C-alpha cells in the first residue's frame, strides 16, 4: 500500500505546537517521535499511539482498536499501537495528554 502523504501532512500539522515532534518514513508508513522517543505510527491512513497495560484502558474506553497487520504466512500480528480517536485528534489539550501517556508507555517499554 502506498504511503498517504496527505494524511501524514495532516498529522504533522496537528503537532505543529508540540515541541520535539519529528517523523521518519518506515515501511509503508511513518514513525513519530518526541525528542527521539517513538510514540506513534501512521499506517494504512490511520494514526496509532503506543500503548501498554498501564494506559490501554483509555484506548478501550474510546472504542479504539490496535494496529494489526498480516504476515506473508497470513498470520495476523497485533502491535501495541492503538488508533487515536478523531475527537482526540481534534482537541489539542486532549491530544497533548494522549501524547504524554504514549511517550511514557514507550519509555517503560525500553526498561
Provide, rounded to the nearest whole percent, the portion of the chain with pLDDT above 90. Answer: 82
63-72 confidence digits (pLDDT tens): 999 999 888 8
Would you state the cell numbers that stand for residue 29, as one nine-digit string? 508508513
* Distance from C-alpha of 14 to C-alpha of 56, rounded to nearest angstrom: 22
* CA angle (97 as vertex; 92, 101 as ends), nearest 5: 145
Domains and CATH numbers, the chain: 5-110 (3.30.1460.30)
CA 12 to chain centre: 12
pLDDT for 2 equals 62
Amino acid at each position: 500500500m502506498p504511503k498517504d502523504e496527505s494524511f501524514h501532512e495532516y498529522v504533522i500539522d496537528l503537532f505543529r505546537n508540540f515541541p520535539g515532534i519529528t517523523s521518519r518514513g518506515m515501511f509503508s508508513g511513518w514513525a513519530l517521535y518526541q525528542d527521539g522517543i517513538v510514540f506513534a505510527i501512521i499506517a494504512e491512513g490511520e494514526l496509532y499511539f503506543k500503548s501498554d497495560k498501564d494506559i490501554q484502558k483509555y484506548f478501550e474506553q474510546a472504542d479504539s482498536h490496535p494496529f494489526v497487520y498480516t504476515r506473508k504466512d497470513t498470520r495476523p500480528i497485533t502491535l501495541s499501537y492503538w488508533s487515536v480517536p478523531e475527537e482526540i485528534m481534534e482537541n489539542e489539550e486532549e491530544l497533548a495528554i494522549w501524547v504524554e501517556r504514549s511517550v511514557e508507555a514507550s519509555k517503560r517499554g525500553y526498561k
